[in-house]
Amino acid sequence: MGRNPSSRKGELNMAEKNIAVIGAGIGGMAAAYDLSRAGHHVTIYEGSGGVGGLAAGFKEPHWDWSVERYYHHWFASDRYMLGLIDELGWQGQVIFPRPVTVMYHQGRFYPFDSMFSNIPLFLLRHYPLIDTARFGLVGAYLRLSGNWKSLEGYTAESWMRRWAGDRVYEAMWEPMLMGKFGDQYAHDVNMAWLWARLHSRTTRLGTFQGGFQAFSDKLADRLRQMGVEIRLSTPIARISPGAPGAGGLAIDAAGQAGGHFDQCLVTVSPGQLAQLAPDLPGSYLQGLLALKHMGAVVLILALKHQLSEEGYYWFNVPKAAGFPFLSLVEHTNYISPQHFGGDHIVYIGDYLNTDHPYFSLSKEELLQTFIPKLTFFNPKFQPEWIRASWLNRTTYAQPIPLLHHSQNIPDIRTPIQGLYFASMSQVYPWDRGTNFAVEIARRAARMMLASMGSSSQG
């Protein structure tokens, strides 16, 4: 995997620094791109065997494209992600289909992509005209207003009940909040989070030709060409301040001799940073550990036949109606099944507390739980349609923003000199995703460069 970066110390230019990035997700690689372009030597440490982080994918031998382990897409408004792709010169490899998202209401699914794509038909059919009008006015306000800070002092439930009305809230927003955050947190999530979801998202959804893994691999190859070292299957055991007089940081990789670095950017979860850097001051550590988040369980099916004959892509399904999961996503109603050897790819996903039984059930047990509900989406469905299945679980998938959450965000520059932190728990009020992972990681890289008196090249 190349020489220990500490062995190059004598070879470096006086201005060149040794920098470590922990995590080879898209954010960590974007930061490494900027740091390397500025003339520094960068080493990325990744505990898994591949790059991409939560956006990583896998591919069957007869597939041309990869499938993400956790469903991903870009919005047309994702300027940080798309801007990076433009810088790399790969904008011609981004595609933007316009699949159909649907919401469940009283036994039927209704198309609903955004506050402005349409007024949901079920409001017009089942509720007084005043509810439809309030829905439209609230949507216009959230879409046009940029004053999210004034909203974080209200829960999404209380604000929506007051301005959109109880009926609209209970029909539309309560099922989403309950599904995303569960009964434990759904009533406490602040309104700024919901504002961010409605403010800038678009109906057009983008991806990279070949899948997100193709983009991640391509970015990793570009980094290697620039001289960045990417050490896969190399988890980090500890990050400590350097020895007295040496300065910098000592980074110990599990099973390997430690290396000395001038700076380090950590892009993993707050809990992992707390474990890796126990020398952080108590107040910063307590802030990391106080942040709450949900995990995710995603079952992927390769079917022999199309599940949604209407061609729907994303089904939002309320658990109150008896569904044992939050979303069903037919990926091949968004990307052609021709890219997957004719397989029809279906995600069944849920955000859950990490002590939920789904984190301990086997794949076979989850299949037995989920499969009976698939006939609701297609009465013709038979278990024999399933050619293959894969189960993916992560305990860190969805940060939980409570009231006045902006006061709880950990600083990117930690109290340990040279140690920086950029995670999806810090992109608030925006929601997690590769776009804001890129934004916060590149912002951290700019801070690191500024502290050294450097500026990005190119």
Same domain, 228 and 162: no
For residue 417, being part of any structural domain is answered with yes
Residue 102 has pLDDT above 90, yes or no: no
Q: What percent of the chain shows pLDDT beyond 90?
A: 70
Same domain, 423 and 286: yes
Cα torsion 57, 266, 36, 435: sign: positive
Which of the residue ranges 15-19, 57-61, 339-343, 400-404 would you say has the lowest mean pLDDT?
Answer: 15-19
Same domain, 122 and 271: no
Q: What is the CATH number of the domain that holds 259?
A: 3.50.50.60
Residue scoring higher pLDDT (123 or 263) = 263
Q: Could you give the CA distance from residue 274 to residue 238 in angstroms, rounded to a whole number?
A: 10
What is the predicted pLDDT for the residue at 431? 85
- Contact at 8 Å (CB) between 131 and 167? yes
What is the predicted pLDDT for the residue at 119? 57
- As a whole number, the mean pLDDT across the chain is 89
Same domain, 128 and 157: yes
What six digits make up the tokens of 65? 């494209």
**How many domains does one find in the chain?**
2
Q: Could you give the CA distance from residue 311 to residue 308 in angstroms, rounded to a whole number?
A: 5
Q: Could you give the CA distance from residue 84 to residue 81 in angstroms, rounded to a whole number?
A: 5
Residue where a domain terminates, one of 199, 234, 259? 199
What is the predicted pLDDT for the residue at 171? 83
Same domain, 188 and 42: no
- Contact at 8 Å (CB) between 419 and 407? no
Same domain, 133 and 193: yes
Nearest to 266 by CA among 293, 232, 239: 239
Same domain, 173 and 238: no
For residue 53, being part of any structural domain is answered with yes
How many helical (H) and strand (E) elements, i.e. helices and strands, does the chain have?
14, 20
Residue where a domain terminates, one of 130, 165, 199? 199
For residue range 49-62, list pLDDT tens digits in order. 999 999 999 999 99
Other beta carbons within 10 angstroms of residue 444's beta carbon come to 27
Nearest to 31 by CA among 223, 192, 217: 223
For residue 313, being part of any structural domain is answered with no
Strands 263-266 and 419-421, by their bridges, are: parallel
Instruction: Name residue 150's amino acid.
Output: S
Other beta carbons within 10 angstroms of residue 197's beta carbon come to 17
Mean local confidence (pLDDT), 170-180: 85
Q: Range of 150's domain?
A: 115-199
Same domain, 283 and 158: no
Mean local confidence (pLDDT), 135-163: 91
Q: Could you give the CA distance from residue 284 to residue 7 in angstroms, rounded to a whole number?
A: 32
The reported pTM is 0.90
Same domain, 186 and 241: no
Residue where a domain terminates, one of 169, 199, 229? 199
For residue 299, being part of any structural domain is answered with no
Look at the block and give the residue holding tokens 């608030």.
428
Mean local confidence (pLDDT), 35-39: 97
- Contact at 8 Å (CB) between 71 and 331? yes
Residue 326 has pLDDT above 50, yes or no: yes
Say if residue 417 is exposed, middle or buried (CB neighbours under 10 Å; 0-12, 13-18, 19+). middle
Tell me the pLDDT band of 108, cut-offs 50, 70 and 90: confident
For residue 268, being part of any structural domain is answered with yes
Same domain, 188 and 227: no
Tell me the pLDDT band of 124, cut-offs 50, 70 and 90: low
Same domain, 222 and 193: no
Same domain, 143 and 163: yes
For residue 238, being part of any structural domain is answered with yes
DSSP 192-244: HHHHHHHHS--S-EEEETT-HHHHHHHHHHHHHHTT-EEETT--EEEEEEPPT
For residue 304, being part of any structural domain is answered with no
For residue 421, being part of any structural domain is answered with yes
